[in-house]
Amino acid sequence: MPPTMPTEVSARAVILAGDRVLLANRRGQFWYFLPGGNVGPGETVETALRRETSAEAGFGVSDLEFIGCVEHTYVEDDRRFHELNVVFAADLPWGAEIGSRKDDIDINSVALRELPNLDLRPATLTDMILDWVGSRRPGWHAAGR
């Protein structure tokens, strides 16, 4: 029997400000991810998203709109993980300051047109975001399609 692969559920936010989106990255890394994080045991996806964006960016998100899900696997510390990212759109709250509240994470505003030039992980998020911006229809994206 193959070793079990842990499955994580993550809540992620596409926080929009006009034609820009907020992206996070770990300091010293050159790849990006959407603000948010893992859903805890017994926690709803929305609650996790609000908790994580508040902790990372220092502001709450509201009026969430479901964008879709991205399923993928990744390797970290020689362990293989299966992850399901549940993604919502939210507007940048009026008067919010863009920046990180965590020592190991940076948060930046990036033009949507620049997304294809960046290493956003999982990579299928780029297609999902751009598809949603163009159609406003949620979608399912799996790595390796």
Give 33-57 pLDDT, tens digit per residue: 999 999 999 999 999 999 999 999 9
Q: Which of 35, 88, 33 is nearest to 59 (CA)?
A: 35
- Tally: H helices and E strands in the chain: 2, 7
Asked whether 20 and 88 are in contact (CB, 8 A), the reply is no
Asked whether 36 and 52 are in contact (CB, 8 A), the reply is yes
Please count the other Cβ atoms lying within 10 Å of the Cβ belonging to residue 81.
14
Instruction: State residue 89 phi and psi, 5-degree precision.
Output: -100, 145
pLDDT, mean of each 10-residue run, the chain (145 residues) = 76 94 92 95 95 90 93 86 93 84 90 97 93 93 64
Domains in the chain, CATH or no CATH each: 7-142 (3.90.79.10)
